Amino acid sequence: MKKLYVVGLGPGEPAGMTYRARAALDKADVLCGYTVYTDLVAPLYPGKEVLTTPMRREIDRCRMALERAAGGDTVAMVCSGDAGVYGMACLIYQLAGEFPPVDIEIVPGVTAAVSGAAVLGAPLSHDFCVISLSDLLTPWETIEKRLRAAGEADFCIALYNPASRKRADYLRRACAILLESRSPETVCGWVRSIGRDGQTAKLLTLAQLQDETVDMFTTVFIGSSQTRALDGKMVTPRGYEAKL
Ligand code: SAH
């Protein structure tokens, strides 16, 4: 059966990739994806064909991958983190019907919420949710509604796509909504370029986060009411301390 792997690469460095992801890349004739991600893996496979499309050409990219797989090549479509978390996995399934049958295998990867949490400490040890601040595909009203609900439900929140050049003040707006239900002292953190050159991280309060400048290579963490800063690490207790 013709094969298309949709591979989550993890945050960036080869050591953060799963064995299964590496095995899928080994088997592929063609590596396909957004340049930033193919650049992460192309050096591991100097001989392999690499197909890229620029940012925002996601539909073209998926069609290209499906077309090559339908034509008989084993293709690995690569995404950062997990391919099913704001990645290409859904689009591959949605477009697959346009092409002759191809066996699609989704290979999970370590998503930024999880790899970033490990840098900060253990912020996601209790219930958490993930919200993207990008309104390219989601109306801003929906994002606000989810932020408000997550704030009220006291989830620890991982924010993806916290800013871009056109969305410079979105994090500020998100913090203002969260401050309706959370204390300004809530422990927060961000991690930039997880697993890549120049990785940086910072712990700060929700009040400070509101004035922080972050970019699209950053994942932001907002603690629940239980989250603590312990020795410079962001920690959300699970409740074991009641049993100590
Ligand atoms: N599929 C990816 C998410 C893609 S959405 C995953 O599962 O991780 C893009 C957003 O993910 C970025 O704006 C950022 O918020 C986050 N992100 C992805 N990789 C990251 C990294 N290496 N360092 C920090 N944030 C990252």
98 φ/ψ angles, rounded to the nearest 5 degrees: -75, -10
State pTM to two decimals: 0.96
Q: Does the beta carbon of 79 lie inside 6 Å of ligand 1?
A: yes
Instruction: Report CA(135)–ligand 1 centroid distance (Å).
Output: 16
DSSP string, 134-177: --SSS-HHHHHHHHHHHHHTT-EEEEES---GGGTTHHHHHHHH
State the pLDDT confidence band at 36, using cuts at 50, 70 and 90: confident
Contact in structure between 159 and 131 (CB atoms under 8 Å)? yes
Average confidence (pLDDT) over 12-23:
95
Give me 48's structure tokens: 């392999």
CA distance 222 to 214: 14
Instruction: Report CA(228)–ligand 1 centroid distance (Å).
Output: 24
Give me the count of residues in the chain. 244
E strand residue ranges, the chain: 3-8, 30-34, 49-53, 75-79, 103-107, 121-122, 128-132, 156-160, 187-192, 200-205, 218-222, 228-230, 233-235
Residue with CA closest to ligand 1 atom 15? 160
Residue with CA closest to ligand 1 atom 12? 161
Which pLDDT score, from 0 to 100, does residue 195 have?
95
What are the tens digits of pLDDT across the range 123-164?
A: 999 999 999 999 999 999 999 999 999 999 999 999 999 998
**Closest by alpha carbon to 25, among 12, 38, 13?**
38
For residue 56, pLDDT over 80 is answered with no
Q: Does the beta carbon of 112 lie inside 6 Å of ligand 1?
A: yes
Which pLDDT score, from 0 to 100, does residue 41 have?
92
State the pLDDT confidence band at 244, using cuts at 50, 70 and 90: low
91 φ/ψ angles, rounded to the nearest 5 degrees: -65, -35
Beta bridge partners of 220: 159, 190
CA distance 233 to 121: 5
Which pLDDT score, from 0 to 100, does residue 201 have?
98
Q: Which atom of ligand 1 is nearest to the CA of 87?
A: 1
200 φ/ψ angles, rounded to the nearest 5 degrees: -135, 155
Q: Which atom of ligand 1 is nearest to the CA of 83?
A: 1
